Amino acid sequence: MNVAILGSGGREHALSKKISESRKIERIYCIPGNAGTSKFATNINIELNNFQKLLKFFKNNFIDLVVIGPEKPLVDGLADFLKLNRIKVFGPNKKAARLEGSKIFTKNLCKKYKIPTAKFGIFKNKKKSFQFIKNVKLPIVIKADNLAAGKGVYICNTVNQCKKAIKEIFNGKFGKAKKVLIEEYLNGEEMSYFIISDGKSFKKFHTAQDHKRIFENDKGPNTGGMGAYTPSGLINKKLDKKILKKIILPTLKAIKDMKTKYIGFLYAGLMIVNEEPYLIEYNVRMGDPECQTILPLLKTDLLKIINETCNQNLKKIKIEWFKKKSICIVLSSRGYPGAYKKNILIKNLDNLKINKNTHIFHAGTKLVKNKFYSTGGRVLNFVSTSSSLKIARSFSIQLINKLKWNNGFFRKDIGHKIINI
């Protein structure tokens, strides 16, 4: 099979590597890809919003399957466009992608289908938002309605912090904002819960815990994710049943009631409070960096899983996992999630010794004359697997410390809530 993977981050590098292991693969193209994906795929520089140019490339290169990595092309309707043009595509259509495209849409869906979530209010302007926050119990959570690359969420402990968040959202920090979402703060533990759906049936696709805050001990502003580990330390059979019954199944019913089908990965961002799951948000694709920590544990052929999902034959696939634990530590550019320098040389990356239990996924890099340069806020993902998360974390940190790149920083405490117990 000829496969095109869309995206340029660590998630797409992990997808490229895993799909390359399939016996069915002939050629992989990554659009646009990065320095890491070039090891497994041919990188093609096409903008993901140029649907016609993408279609022309897929037809000219006899692409059998397109895997869409990031959320924006899904929200913009790329899956619909490709299906209309008879291109097999893995990823939900525009209607189903609203689960991530609009947080307010998802909150209203939760209300209608009685899916447990934080109490919330929706406000159309700064004035009404300011009036509301005068009398609320702090802390509260303030969110941009639209896509924000994981950064449009504010946890506010003071009225001044609330006002600043509201101003930034309505002033267009995350794009044009017509509404803001204000919701109660749930005091619990986060969990990333994944399923894969073919529109008729679904299967669970592991759990993880992401670490959104920039600094250790979960301090500072939110990021796209500073690290993750798999499986979540919270998951057990009783909680798993609750998540399926109270959150996943009602959501899939809602999608069916919308007269559409969900084909792709669905990622439920949950808060677990006193053994009860609450939906925080949905993502309509694999998480990043969760994807990088989950896929190394997958034993079953990923290409086979994705292809049969597109064929609505997921039921016949048995998804098997290695009985290990995995951890991902993100190495970021200094200054991230704010302004940071680009095009900084990363020395000796090719000389780092990795084995079957360690992986380095590129998130924001480019290759120029056989030299690696940083191009993004999140630059490299160091993933290790082991029977022990503590050992896996030490492997990743040892690798990072051998890298000669002074412009980076990382959190040394990924997994701290479970490792240090």
How large is the greatest C-alpha to C-alpha distance in the chain, in angstroms? 61
Extents of the domains making up the chain:
2-93, 119-184, 189-316, 326-419
The phi-psi region of residue 20 (left if phi > 0; otherwise alpha if psi is between -120 and 50; otherwise beta) is: alpha
Q: What local confidence, expressed as pLDDT, does residue 147 receive? A: 81
Segments in the chain below pLDDT 50: 421
Q: What local confidence, expressed as pLDDT, does residue 420 receive? A: 64
Planar angle of CA 287, 290, 294, nearest 5 degrees: 120
Q: What local confidence, expressed as pLDDT, does residue 169 receive? A: 92
* Architecture in CATH of 2-93: 3-Layer(aba) Sandwich (3.40)
> 50-66, pLDDT tens digit by residue?
999 999 999 999 999 99
In angstroms, rounded to a whole number, what is the distance separating the alpha carbons of residues 114 and 34? 42
In angstroms, rounded to a whole number, what is the distance separating the alpha carbons of residues 323 and 408? 32
Q: Are strands 140-144 and 120-123 parallel, antiparallel or unpaired?
A: unpaired
List CB contacts of 241: < 8 A, sequence separation 6 or more: none
Q: Could you tell me which CATH number the domain at 326-419 has?
A: 3.90.600.10
The domains spanning 119-184 and 326-419 adopt the same CATH topology: no
Q: What local confidence, expressed as pLDDT, does residue 221 receive? A: 87
- The full 3-state SS of the chain, as one line of letters, equals CEEEEEECCHHHHHHHHHHHCCCCCCEEEEEECCCCHHHCCEECCCCCCCHHHHHHHHHHCCCCEEEECCHHHHHCCHHHHHHHCCCCEECCCHHHHHHHHCHHHHHHHHHHCCCCECCEEEECCHHHHHHHHCCCCCCEEEEECCCCCCCCEEEECCHHHHHHHHHHHHCCECECCCCEEEEECCCCEEEEEEEEEECCCEEEEEEEEECCEEECCCEEEECCCCEEEECCCCCCHHHHHHHHHHHHHHHHHHHHHCCCCCEEEEEEEEEEECCEEEEEEEECCCCCCHHHHHHHHECCCHHHHHHHHHCCCHHHCCCCECCCEEEEEEEEECCCCCCCCCCCEEECHHHCCCCCCEEEEECCEEEECCEEEECCCEEEEEEEEECCHHHHHHHHHHHHHHCECCCEECCCCCCHHHHCC
Topology, domain 119-184: Dna Ligase; domain 1 (3.30.1490)
Contact 384, 395 (CB under 8 A): yes
Q: What local confidence, expressed as pLDDT, does residue 174 receive? A: 85
Q: What local confidence, expressed as pLDDT, does residue 12 receive? A: 98
- Domain 189-316, CATH homologous superfamily name and number: ATP-grasp fold, B domain (3.30.470.20)
What are the structure tokens assigned to 93, written together?
A: 């259509």
Q: What local confidence, expressed as pLDDT, does residue 421 receive? A: 46
